Structure 1
Amino acid sequence: MRVLVTGAAGFIGSRLSERLLERGDEVLGYDDVNAYYDPRLKEARLARLLPQAGFRFTRASLEDREAVKTAFTDFRPQRVVNLAAQAGVRYSLENPHAYIDSNIVGFMNILEACRHGDVEHLVYASSSSVYGANRKLPFDVADSVDHPVSMYAATKKANELMAHTYSHLFDLPTTGLRFFTVYGPWGRPDMALFLFTRRILAGEPLDVFNHGRHTRDFTYIDDIVEGVIRTLDRVPGPDPTFDPLVPNPASSSAPYRVYNIGSHRPVELLRYIEVLEECLGRKAEMRMLPLQPGDVPDTYADVEALQRDTGYAPSTPVEVGVRKFVEWYRSFYGT
């Protein structure tokens, strides 16, 4: 297939592009390689993709409507995976406009391009952050997600609503994927595992929020990518069981689905740090701090719908995933 992957220089997008190329798909990567975090890491990911047969690359932002339109016109993708977004919960308190520009305006451009480009299936990144103030665990895709606690989460919820509108009005098959705390080799430097590893090796204290007592459904990168591919290959149709009198938020009478992709095994942050200490062979100095604005105490994915429809559920334990990250980090940074 011809697959357009936005965010192809990013953590998930670069690994997904590799997997698609390995199985023989043609991939157009689309990314503006911005400076939200060190662009050198993004360029290093790209450097692994650019020499490969079947891979092309467009350097532009989602907000650039003409660039998006040209990419679709020239490449004529059959399927699209939209992973490009302004990420990060805490940064959304500092620069909310960046989230509207990329996650709302940019996603609108993708939807319009898919509509006019006769795209067979749009898969897009949502987030576990949409569960917001929900305290019922595990998080189920049939649960209400109407109480976001960050602008990042609000834009991801908006993406799901926008996608449903296009599925309903224009019969565009869309699948939203709520990712749960992705980690692993080539990961994002603004996320906990990367920050903690750097600080422990530098002998610096860790800022441990919520006194380390919150839990996260840490999900290994290869498990995430496998979930993306499984859903990409399964084009949704209208849900024959959908009842408009008791509507299920995760499906529709339109060709629309939403899934959680998480390990279904929440781990307390202190245990996560303990595993990292074991892999590094060093102890961490910890500075205990309260829960930060926009953060939630716990995340825990119910993946029954994903397993039912694709036959897949993530399985990599943190002990394995953290070790693989540390091996990559030491090799990449020479520490």
Structure 2
Amino acid sequence: MNNRFFYSFILILFFCCASNAGKVYAHHGGVSTAFGPGAPVETASPMTLGKGKFLLYEKIEFASFEQKNHADPENIENFTFFNTLAGYGITDYLSLYLVMPYAIKEQDSLGTSKGFGDAGFLVQYGFKYGERNGIRGFYNNGPEDTIGESYTTNDLKMSVLGGFTVQTGDITNEDNNGNRFDMGMQTGFAAPTFMTGFSASKMLFQHFTLTGETSFTTFTRHDDGKPGNEIRFNLAGGYEIFENPQGFFQRVDIITESNFLHLTKDEDEHHHDEDDSGGTILYLSPGFRVSLKKNISIGGLLKFPVWKDLNRESEQQGAEGLEHYRAILTVTYSF
């Protein structure tokens, strides 16, 4: 296959997905495997950890929701998510992750629902299309493609990600009136979820890296119903504005992301669709990533819903697409 055609096909795929259509476990805050210099913040990176390396990752996400007259006096005010991730590189191309979320959900007049969410397990396989020993082709990630090496290389890097959750989160939190919060206000689900995803990135020109990602998450049924499934298409560009490999601040990247999310309708306990749920949202998300000495990376992002098509939007409140904004901060440390 012609190399130029192959690269163009991959990049056009992601541009189309972003224009026509999170991380993982979005109803409880997303977690993406995005870390290291040049990597996005919300969009998953194809970079793997490297053989024998560990990763500690913390993501804090705050969502402030619009207040609606029809929901008074029980408007959902805001959600705060703390997602802790630990990873280990089995090989240079295969990484395993454990995710433990914690959520705080505020609802006007009804109080606060808080507690741990469902533990998640992820596996990532990384590969690339590039040159090795003078021969171009597909290869598993090697030491030069992992978190300890330069991210912005000429190879087209790719990865496949899959995972699931187990029920460890709270599902019986009660409001100020002694009634159990609705499913969307609980911090855990009563049944497993499953996700799969694909990501790719390439340095298009010096200092600029383009990353694309798509993922699908499905929620299984429990006694109270079933949350809608999620389809995500993310596209991110990162431009390096500063580099000093010998300094404390080793690199600074400006990040711009477009995050597309489609949610199918929730289902109630009778297997009926809840027509005032689900829809399609496009976020525009400016941010940054700072790489420090000792393999520490800090990323930040502000997500703004710039377009949405929600089912019965006038009856929804406290859902994706109806935020004022989402603020995200990530900190990673590898060793």
Instruction: Give the TM-score category using the shorter length.
Output: under 0.3
Answer with 1 or 2: which has the greater Rg: 2
| Larger fraction in strand | 2
| Larger fraction in helix | 1
TM-score computed with the length of structure 1 as normaliser: 0.24
